[in-house]
Structures are given as C-alpha cells and as structure tokens.
Amino acid sequence: MSLRIFHIIFVTVSIALSVFVTIWGVREYALTRSNGALILAGVFLICGVVLVFYAGRVFRKLREL
C-alpha cells in the first residue's frame, strides 16, 4: 500500500471521527447540558466539513502523482 492510499484511508477515518465526536457532543449536551460538549461537537463538525472539502480537492490530485 502506498502513502497515497494510506492517506486517503487516514482522512476517511478522520472524517468518521469528526462525525462520531459531533454526534457524541450533541448527545452529551442533551443529557447533561454541558456547553463544553456542544463546543466540541461544533469544532469537530467544522473539522469534518474541512476534511470533506480537502478530500474532494486533493484526492484527485494525488491520483495523478
């Protein structure tokens, strides 16, 4: 497996982590009214969106290498 493929897998797993933490944070907020959990959810939601955009733009370029 090349670095290119491992990077694609890593970014995919990172997007999955972002989705997980976002859901976890919202659920935690619903249960405990913890503002920290809601902030964490927001931060990881942004991270997930950025990673999806990054994946869309960079993966195609990496395939050309």
Partner 1 sequence: MDAHAEAHEHVLEIPYTVHPRPDTGLYNAKLGIWLFLASEVMLFGALFSSFILIRTAAPVWPRGWEFLNVPLATANTFILIASSVTVVLAWANLRLGNLKWGRIFIALTLVCALAFLVNKGFEYTHEFKEHRFPSTSNFLAIYFTMTGLHGLHVLGGVIVFSYLLLPGAKMWKTDRARYTNRIEVCGLYWHFVDLVWIFLFPSLYLM
User: Where do contacts with partner 1 occur on this chain (CB under 8 A)?
Assistant: 1-4, 6-7, 10-11, 13-14, 17, 20-21, 24, 28, 36-37, 40, 43-44, 47, 51, 54, 62, 65
Q: What's the min distance (Å) between Cβ of 6 and partner 1?
A: 5
Q: What's the min distance (Å) between Cβ of 12 and partner 1?
A: 11
- The burial of 1, by beta-carbon neighbours within 10 Å (0-12 exposed, 13-18 middle, 19 or more buried), is given as exposed
Task: Name which of 60, 24, 59, 57 is nearest 43 in CA terms.
Answer: 24
Q: What's the min distance (Å) between Cβ of 30 and partner 1?
A: 15
Cα separation, 65 vs 62, in Å, equals: 5
